Chain A
Amino acid sequence: MDIFKLKSSNQAQAIKTALKILRNQGLIVYPTETCFGLGADATNEKAVEKIFQFKGERNKPVSIAAADQEMAEKYVRLNRTALNLYQNFLPGPLTVISFSQGKVVKKLESNRKTLGVRIPDLPFTLKLIKAFGRPITTTSANVSNAKPPFSLKDFQKYTSQKRQNLVNLFIDPGSLPKRESSTVVDTTLNETLILRQGQISFSQKETQKFVSNSEGETRKIAQKITETVRARNLPVIFALQGELGAGKTQFVKGIASSLKIKEPITSPTFTLIKEYPFNQNTLYHLDTWRLEEGREILNLGFNKMLQKGNLIAIEWLEKVKPILEKIAREKKAKIIWIKIEPLTEDKRKILIYE
């Protein structure tokens, strides 16, 4: 392993030396604003293989470092959330996960074909990546689960000779300030078009229409609807559509009160499902927003919930609409589609489709 003492006067030389190694499938250790990173050509199988050898953990994805948004866009698909982050907060200590375009070594991507991208906030490192013309890997230069290095001394102390031998060049500007690792955000859940408008369109005309002037009225409307559908011989699914803050949970509170459920109905966003027993049956409250894919509700035991007398309220329909439609076709459940649209701050239009 060669050590290059980086100074303001020899940056061009450092870049030249590093480029030669990157082009020859070699490994470099380079500074970032968080800690020292381990870099290899992200598009080269052999080079990337060395990264996994070094890290000692073969099944985890590794992020890439790009020079700018323009370079990143060639490797990942940037949606509105990602663009917001790139334009406002990159370069910076932030790893943004997007769907990969499949142009990097496959092992760097997650099973879902997502890829993390960073744009390090360090002029030298950006110049190096820009000169290389394509992204390099960025992962802290330590064995998996060990401490990240902030100096050459750290690195030499905690890295076995065998692993040090995998590295061709250590670019050393001196000790780096000790900062926390970069914050990771996944942008692939936030297809914001769906979040705000572009909701599911209902082809048929609504069967009932209400206007609610308050959360209390929304609960009363829900109560009324629940009472009219309960006698049927099938499980009932309330498929709730409405943007954040529209009052979907208020609606479920109304369902629960008509079932005489005393427990507070709280958001299922984090736990995905909440269940509330009543009489001999159960009210299930689901939120699919945190699911990777809609069909995952089947892994959550959805079919088991479909028993006569049970009620299921589902928020965030976009991902599960096809599954729900199939259930309706097979007559496994009675589905009531509910659309809640804000009219003013407190006023809501509630449309029911049976």
Chain B
Amino acid sequence: MSKKDWLILSLDTSCDDTSAAVTLNDQVLSNVIASQAKFHQEYGGIVPNIAKRMHQKLLEPTVQQALKTARVNWQQIKAIAVTFGPGLAPALETGIAYAKEMAKKHQKPLIAVNHMEAHLLSPLAKNSKGNGSFKNEKIKFPLLGLLVSGGHTQLVLVKTIGDYQILGQTLDDAAGEAFDKVARMLDLGYPGGPIISQLAKKGEPKISLPIPMQQSSSLDYSFSGLKTACLRKIDQTQIKDKKFILHFAASFELTVAKALTLKLNQALKKYPVKQLFLGGGVINNTTIRQEIRKTAKLHNTKVFIPFDKKLISDNAAMVGVCAYFQAQKGKFVKNINQLDRKPNLSL
């Protein structure tokens, strides 16, 4: 490791998950997500328990695991990075308090990271061998970012790293919330994303649902009208059998994909960029990804997603990679005591 290298311990406690990671520059050495490590992905940790989630007790073992997996110790760590927004205020506070404590205890500089910027730059992450989505590519500014998650739906113009312009965002529900709410209407349980996407594979998108914001020239998203249309369709349907549910899942999924690509298409017309970055949990949905790729292809725009599925949803490694870019520019927290959570932080 040379003097120029940044070995960073990063934390993310923006909403449902507690995560810690170790990154070396843009390389991910470890990326531990508490709900997946402590509980198991097969079952458990589905409903967020506030008290537990915000308990500092969860941070310590997650951090220890991140250090252990990366085979590094506190002495080697050069800086600590933490998400300070946007997200759930009490959850953010927990992470920030812990990061401050560690920064003081181990005398490390602290880097405050915007969770959405971390999602945005997540395709730039590489694995420990230096391979990633950008192995044989050069980054070409300006580029577009499309962030789709439980809490956000945003189209961002990236002029360069650190210089962003939000072109459009949701005016009501985020795409991920729309999935949860439609799953609720169809009596499918929580969370809605994975089960709708599983059922959609066996259905046909033959139920017509309105694509939101078609008449609007703005690049903003809106899913509340689609939600109401779904409710109406479901209420009007007498027999909600297996076939209906499968077709509805497929139809809804495709409509969300069309809504996302409608605005993406408009954005690419206005800003003909060469590269498109994708991030956020909803990007795990294969239909949505396919539709986005189709749209991007029409504009000769290349699509980049993070090299590892774990980097798509909320995680700390993306925070570490984002912090690396900040560290290079000397963007550290000047007064550690004054760092405060910003639940409404924007790009």
Contacts and interface: CB of A to CB of B under 8 A. Distances in A.
Contacts of B189: 81-82, 85, 96-97, 185-187, 189-190
Contacts of B46: 97, 184-186
A280 interface: no
B42 A140 contact: yes
B30 to A, nearest CB: 12
Interface in B71-104: 86-90
A139 interface: yes
Contact of A184 (B43, B181, B199): B43
B198 A183 contact: yes
B194 A183 contact: yes
A120 to B, nearest CB: 13
Interface residues of A, number: 62
B139 interface: no
A61 B44 contact: yes
Contact of B90 (A116, A269, A299): A299
Contacts of B37: 144-145
A271 B15 contact: yes
A270 B222 CA distance: 16
Contacts of B40: 57, 60-62, 139, 144
B106 interface: no
Nearest to B149: A270
Contact of A271 (B151, B169, B170, B242): B151
B247 interface: no
Interface stretch (B20-28, B118-126, B225-233, B324-332): B225-233
Contacts of A88: 241-242, 245
Interface stretch (A69-77, A168-176, A230-238, A288-296): A288-296
B15 A249 contact: no
Given A187-B189, A189-B190, A244 B176 contact: no
A177 interface: no
Interface of A: 57, 59-63, 80-82, 84-85, 88-89, 93-97, 110-112, 116, 139-140, 144-145, 181-190, 192, 195, 243-245, 249, 263-264, 266-267, 269-276, 290-292, 296, 299-301, 345
8 contacts: A62-B40, A85-B189, A145-B37, A185-B194, A189-B47, A189-B190, A292-B47, A292-B48
